[in-house]
Amino acid sequence: MDYISEAGHVSARQGHETGKRSQEGITRFIEQMGLSAQQDGVARISGRIFGYFIVHGGPVSFAQLAEELQISRASVSTNARSLAALGIIERITLPGDRQDYYQLAVSPFLRMIESYLVRMQQMQNILQQADDSIPAEMHATHARLAQMRRFYAAAVQANQQLIEDLGP
């Protein structure tokens, strides 16, 4: 039995020996990924889609995603494209098939770190601006801003190192 290539029919195998209990575990995992995403300020459905692709690496068709996760096609469109834009999943096409397919990206976690890095760089810009526009007499303020910049510089460096360590 191959769960991977028949992702679309897993939910129909209720009566199977491994079926019910394992199905519970899978849906719970996907649901937890949704909640976890929501905690991180990401749409719940994006988290569920990500979880779905952890379980079934893909390729999975657009229509399959909507049916399996029981979400509207509009939500599939929005969230899958959003995840693809982040480099976490990627859109592919299959010859002789008009549908869009998605599959897990090769290294989804590296992309997640890269998103963090972007956020940190935005914060560094804010700190730079503050440093420029706040009068020099405010020594203690500038000292705290400098401390903050050192922190973000170190954090950026640590995450770049992490990317290298996890890379090929």
Partner DNA sequence: TAGTTTGTTCAGTTATGGCTGAACAAAAAA
Partner DNA sequence: TTTTTTGTTCAGCCATAACTGAACAAACTA
> Across-strand partners of 104?
89
CA pair distance 41, 47, nearest whole angstrom: 10
Contact 86, 112 (CB under 8 A): yes
Among 32, 72, 115, 121, binds DNA (CB under 7 A): 72
User: Is position 58 an interface residue for DNA (rule: CB under 7 A)?
Assistant: no
> Across-strand partners of 100?
93
CA pair distance 52, 125, nearest whole angstrom: 36
Among 78, 107, 124, 159, binds DNA (CB under 7 A): 78
Stretch 18-77 residues interacting with a second copy (CB under 8 A): 18, 21-22, 24-26, 28-29, 32-33, 36, 39-41, 54-57
CA pair distance 45, 135, nearest whole angstrom: 46
| Angstrom distances, CA of residue 52 to CA of 60, 89, 168 | 10, 11, 25
User: Is position 94 an interface residue for DNA (rule: CB under 7 A)?
Assistant: no
Residue 164: partners with Cβ closer than 8 Å, 6 or more residues away: none
Among all chains, which residue has been given the structure tokens 């973000």? 152
User: Is position 45 an interface residue for DNA (rule: CB under 7 A)?
Assistant: yes
For the bound state, the minimum distance from the C-beta of residue 125 to a second copy, rounded and expressed in Å, comes to 9
Query: Which residues here bind DNA, judged by CB under 7 A?
Result: 38, 43-46, 61-63, 70-81, 98-100
Query: Which residues here bind a second copy, judged by CB under 8 A?
Result: 1, 3-4, 18, 21-22, 24-26, 28-29, 32-33, 36, 39-41, 54-57, 104, 109, 113, 119, 122-123, 126, 129-130, 132-135, 137-138, 140-141, 144-145, 147-148, 150-151, 154-155, 158-159, 161-162, 165-166
